[in-house]
Amino acid sequence: MRILSALAVGVLFGLGLTISGMINPAKIIAFLDVTGDWDPSLLVVMAAALAVAFVGYRIVLARAKPVFEPTFQLPTKTVIDRPLLIGSALFGAGWGLSGLCPGPAISAASLGVGEIYVFMIALLAGMLLKDGLPKSAEKPA
């Protein structure tokens, strides 16, 4: 049942990304181009996602425990440190240059467009590179 619920949530998320246009790199780049031909339509998508997350967290965290797990697994780190800032900057630069981020890229992979696969290869390479770094390289100096 746990796997089926994860599949259902993933399909729903992918459909939402597709319907909202988040899998179209040109639409994302137009949204980010605030000094040119700006397309503010994704503000509605982001506002709706924020509203759903806000209500969803309130409902879920009011429960004693998750449905399919013994406890909640929430982040405990609250410090804004150098690795977080560097990672955020890299994510933002990649999003701005490609018009894709990991979730929409996975949804867009079903379209068979070659550029999406180039992005996915770069994404996987970055993940492998990060996992291959020694632990001392991940900590701020």
Comparing CA positions, the residue from 132, 139, 107, 133 lying closest to residue 120 is 107
The residue extents of the domains of the chain are: 2-138
Q: What is the 3-state secondary structure (H, E, C) of 23-81?
A: CCHHHHHHHHCCCCCCCCCHHHHHHHHHHHHHHHHHHHHCCCCCCCCCCCCCCCCCCCC
- For residue 71, the model assigns a pLDDT of 93
The whole model's pTM is what?
Answer: 0.70
Cα dist from 109 to 43, 91, 113, whole Å: 24, 19, 7
Give residue 107's pLDDT: 85
Residue 7: the pLDDT is 93
- Residue in this structure with the two tokens 């899998």, named with its chain if needed: 23
List of residues 6+ apart from 138 with CB closer than 8 A: 83, 130
CA dist 140 to 10, 30, 80, 95, Å?
34, 35, 11, 24
Distance between alpha carbon 1 and the CA centroid of its chain, in Å? 25
Per-residue pLDDT in tens (0 to 9) along the chain, 141 residues? 889 999 999 999 889 888 888 888 888 889 888 898 899 998 998 899 999 999 999 999 999 999 888 999 988 989 999 988 998 998 888 888 888 888 888 888 887 777 888 888 988 888 888 777 766 555 554
Q: What is the pLDDT of residue 65?
A: 93
Q: Note the pLDDT of residue 103.
A: 85
pLDDT at 139: 56
